[in-house]
Structure 1
Amino acid sequence: MYSRADGLGNRWFRTLRECPSPRVRLVCFPHAGGVASFFRTWPQYVPADVELLAVRYPGREDRHHDPLVDTMEELADPLARACSAFADAPLAFFGHSMGASVATEVALRLEAEFGQTLAALFVSSRPGPGREEQILSREAGDDELIAHLVHMGGSAPELFEHPELRDLLLPPIRADYRLLGRYTLPLDTPALDTPLVGYYGTEDPRVDGPAMSSWASMTRAQFDLRAFEGGHFYLAERPRELIADLSSRLSTPVKSG
């Protein structure tokens, strides 16, 4: 599917649903090892006047020939430049797990460098500033990495039983975990002017209410927190409920920055 987003953002975005005159453009940022198609079911739940895009990280799916990146700067800098072109409609971000940090860094760059303020920033299943943790050591072997992924609920064990799939899937995941291992959001980072909402699963083994509440320091506007039944990937289990809540927070007309 081709849209203004494909033309403006070229390889960085997949258009999941185009809207001729969007009230809001919602950009979704995947988790570590995640892909744009993770959000492929969302168009059926998102309001008709919301254009829906998903970020295409390098080194996976239809960007599998692009070099992997393992620093936040390599990811957030070009994404901010690409998002700065979306000036025809208010812009909102949803980021899950690692994607929450990437979305926040892009939002910070949009405000500081391009003078653009998001209509809303939705962060999901990722501890906020001061609560980040080292998930895996750099020396973790493939088996330890796979066990962690299966435990978090984002990957089916049988995917890694096939050597070809294993060789395809693990390099992007390792690159993302290297990025996370090198990244922390400084506590003195200026807060955003956009409303911020935190989401998490009540059975998440690593992320709880206090960890998500620390995101409140990142906004000078309103902060809200919402929990759903489920684990780290609660959104795969309850997409309709999550998107209904998210969409309700975009129901009031907003102006782009």
Structure 2
Amino acid sequence: MFLSPDGLLRISRPNEHAQVRLVCFPPGGSDAWMWDAYSRRLPETIELCAIQLPNRGEEMADYTDHSQIIAAVGQSLLTHTRKRQKIVFHGYCVGALWGYEVALYLREVAGVQPDHFIVIGCMAPHERAAQTAFMKTPAFVDVMTGFYKPGSPEYNYILSIIPAVEHDSEMLSQDISPLDKPFDFPLTVFGAEHDQFVPNCEDLRAWQGYTRGPFRVQIFEGDHFFGLHHPDFLMKLLTECIQTELSLA
């Protein structure tokens, strides 16, 4: 286990020989440890690095400007990067918005960018308002808790992270840095036919303007949680995507 001194990076299975570091940004309100179970399903060629956003728990009150979060995560990634290791960003749901902002920061501050960006279930940054606003509604809570029996540990956990979800929504509703020029990395977007948060697939295709590199959208059966609720499928999907775009054996 590797935990960065600043607490922002979590690598449950460090592997200095891995060709790729998969940097995973969490869905709204979630913590980095959620990715531990997923990392065990990746091949040895891919090392999963989970981002622990700092605006959690008692620290939420310390963050009133999302740029503080972006800079902290960006600097931590720069400090703890491995030489000659390719970097792939993955954002599930609004985790993709955090990933986009960090990618912008890295390009501006250090002149670097990820080798690939994989988005699942998130509207393009310029169309995000409906998705971030929904995160602060009772309907959102109903969707999130609807899979679990009231009073169960899972149900209570969802209720416990709602304040963090709402804080993420507030941070991501702030002005996002404009895209002066598209990125160069391949950009892959996955979605679901019955996504409760992104009902219009055109909101996924709107990501195309964010890269000059290869771009594709693929829609699967199921709802917003088609990947999160099926770890084997999600890691197989990400692995195949990475191997194809980066030409890994």
- For the superposition of Structure 1 and Structure 2, which TM-score range results when normalised by the shorter chain? 0.7 to 0.9
Match of 2:71 among 62, 72, 77: 77
Structure 2 counterpart of 1:83, one-letter code: L
Q: In structure 2, do the counterparts of structure 1 residues 198 and 170 end up closer, same or farther at CA, with 3 Å as the change threshold?
A: same
TM-score (structure 2 length as normaliser): 0.83
1:233 maps to 2:225: yes
Structure 1 counterpart of 2:71, one-letter code: D
| Ranges in structure 2 where 5+ consecutive residues have no aligned partner | none
Match of 1:250 among 235, 238, 242: 242
Q: Which residue of 2 aligns with 1:46?
A: 42
1:112 maps to 2:136: no
Q: Which residue of 1 aligns with 2:20?
A: 24
TM-score (structure 1 length as normaliser): 0.81
Q: How many residues align?
A: 241
Q: Secondary structure at the match of 2:17?
A: coil
Q: Secondary structure at the match of 1:226?
A: strand
Once residues 166 and 251 of structure 1 are traced to their aligned partners in structure 2, the CA distance between those partners, rounded to angstroms, is 34
Once residues 78 and 104 of structure 2 are traced to their aligned partners in structure 1, the CA distance between those partners, rounded to angstroms, is 12
Q: In structure 2, do the counterparts of structure 1 residues 41 and 137 end up closer, same or farther at CA, with 3 Å as the change threshold?
A: closer
| Ranges in structure 1 where 5+ consecutive residues have no aligned partner | none
Identity rate, percent: 23
Q: Secondary structure at the match of 2:47?
A: strand
Match of 1:212 among 204, 207, 210: 204
Once residues 40 and 32 of structure 1 are traced to their aligned partners in structure 2, the CA distance between those partners, rounded to angstroms, is 17
Q: What whole-Å deviation, never above 9, does each CA across 1:7-48 have from its counterpart, x for those lacking one?
A: 4x6310111221131200111101111111222221232111
Q: What whole-Å deviation, never above 9, does each CA across 1:87-138 have from its counterpart, x for those lacking one?
A: 4211111111111000011111112211212111111111114322245769
Q: Secondary structure at the match of 1:242?
A: helix
Name the Cα RMSD after superposition: 3.0
Native 8 Å contact 1:153 1:233 kept in 2? no
Match of 2:194 among 172, 190, 203: 203
Structure 2 matches for 1:61-100, cutoff 5 A? Answer: 64-68=57-61, 69-85=63-79, 86-88=81-83, 89-100=85-96
Native 8 Å contact 2:123 2:131 kept in 1? no
Structure 1 residue 180, shift from structure 2 partner? 2.7
